[in-house]
Amino acid sequence: MVDLSWYKGRKVLITGHTGFKGTWLTRMLLNAGAIVTGYSLTPPTDPSLFEMSGVEDKITHVTGDVRDIDHMQKVFSETEPEIVLHLAAQPIVRDSYKDPRYTYETNVMGTVNLLECVRNTPSVKSVVNVTTDKVYLNEERQEGYREDEKLDGFDPYSNSKSCSELVTHSYKRSFFTPDMEKGIRTVAVSTARAGNVIGGGDFANDRIVPDCVRAVSAGKKLEVRNPYSVRPYQHVLEPLLVYLTIAMKQEIDPSYQDYYNVGPNDEDTVTTGELADLFKSCWGEGFDWEDKSEADAPHEAGLLRLNCGKIKKVFSWKATWNIEEAIRKTVEFSRVYLDGGDIPCEMDRQINEFLKEATYG
Ligand SMILES: NC(=O)c1ccc[n+]([C@@H]2O[C@H](COP(=O)([O-])OP(=O)(O)OC[C@H]3O[C@@H](n4cnc5c(N)ncnc54)[C@H](O)[C@@H]3O)[C@@H](O)[C@H]2O)c1
């Protein structure tokens, strides 16, 4: 069992709190008793998990753009966070081909702006910048990438996240390394490079599990455009618990600050087609899919694995839910959603079950 009571009464600022991962994270933190401020654009999807999660009136909810440093600084100054979790991003590969400039502005300058706000806010002690497994130069190889390998994502989304990593590295070295003589204070800063997440309440376009749920509710066969691409899939609560663990540990002891991969066990890295098959066997009657590979689709990595040896060693991490369980939980959530059930209650049920079964931290 993992106990998040360390967060009780702590002031946490989350960017991207209106998104899929941000909403689950906000609910986890509220359950732990944290005082949460969220800074994001309006929810990126309609329907939106944020709007159905019941968190909005329990936090300081600010609609703001990470490209607007003055507004973000005002929120930092007013709320004086101790812990900052940076999730706001344009996170869709295909959208990054459509609008690379916006993707870079949000994902790179947004990170610069965030770290400037951190520099100018003495209360901040711990920062986690959430990037992605796509930050590495992808050589389409079988072995998982380690944290010390070359950062050079291919498409504008992946590459903007590689840049966000490099920006973070520079700020750490230039501004956040403690130097008593120069009066430079300590802020512990880490990045976390997570694999693809699945879970209830993701309504984004161009993601396989939301596509499965949409196909079910429309009563249509799902067309899978990339069934042979291999990705490290994990349940959304897995990386969120790792982010919270890093933020907590490094606040207590800054020697934990580092760059961390966050992915599933090797056997849970599957193809998109295998994932659709798992969804099918878990959902049962009413879902089916077909191979609709696109010859002229924009480039996306075919094979992507992560080496998660570091989090295993440093935090004694191990995955709590394997891929089957992650799909089962997503199906359970989706049934509640499609039946018009109680979403906050279902979120809390899954969070409590997950924290009860998790054994590290
Ligand atoms: N979903 C995944 O599989 C996955 C995998 C690895 C990493 N990530 C990373 O996790 C983070 C969250 O992803 P998600 O799946 O929840 O995405 P999402 O699209 O559901 O949420 C994105 C959030 O960022 C906010 N946002 C976007 N542009 C903004 C801007 N200019 N200013 C302020 N806020 C802005 C949105 O309002 C939203 O709150 C992202 O940084 C993403 O790159 C996601």
Hey, which of 15, 18, 21 would you mutate to test ligand 1's pocket, going by the most ligand atoms within 8 Å of its Cβ?
Answer: 21
Nearest atom within ligand 1 for CA of residue 64? 33
Domains along the chain with CATH numbers: 5-357 (3.40.50.720)
Separation of alpha carbons 198 and 237, rounded Å: 9
Contact present, 93 and 135 (Cβ < 8 Å): no
Contact present, 211 and 292 (Cβ < 8 Å): no
Ligand 1, CB cutoff 6 Å, lining residues: 15-22, 40-41, 44, 65-67, 87-91, 106, 110, 130, 132, 194, 196-197, 204
Tell me, in angstroms, the distance from the centre of ligand 1 to residue 107's CA: 9
Contacts 24+ apart (CB under 8 A), 63-71: 64/39, 64/40, 65/41, 66/15, 66/39, 66/106, 66/109, 66/110, 66/111, 66/113, 66/114, 67/105, 67/106, 67/109, 67/110, 67/113, 68/113, 69/113, 69/116, 69/117
- Strand pairing category for 60-63 and 35-40: parallel
The residues near 20 (Cβ < 8 Å, ≥ 6 apart) are: 45, 49, 197, 199, 201, 202, 203, 204, 236
pLDDT in tens, the chain (361 residues): 999 999 999 999 999 999 999 999 999 999 999 999 999 999 999 999 999 999 999 999 999 999 999 999 999 999 999 999 999 999 999 999 999 999 999 999 999 999 999 999 999 999 999 999 999 999 888 899 999 999 999 999 999 999 999 999 999 999 998 766 666 668 999 999 998 899 999 999 888 999 999 999 899 999 998 888 888 899 999 999 999 999 999 999 999 999 999 998 888 888 999 999 999 999 988 899 999 887 677 777 677 889 999 999 999 999 999 999 999 999 999 999 999 999 999 999 999 999 999 987 6
Distances (CA, A) of 118 to 129, 186, 249: 12, 11, 18
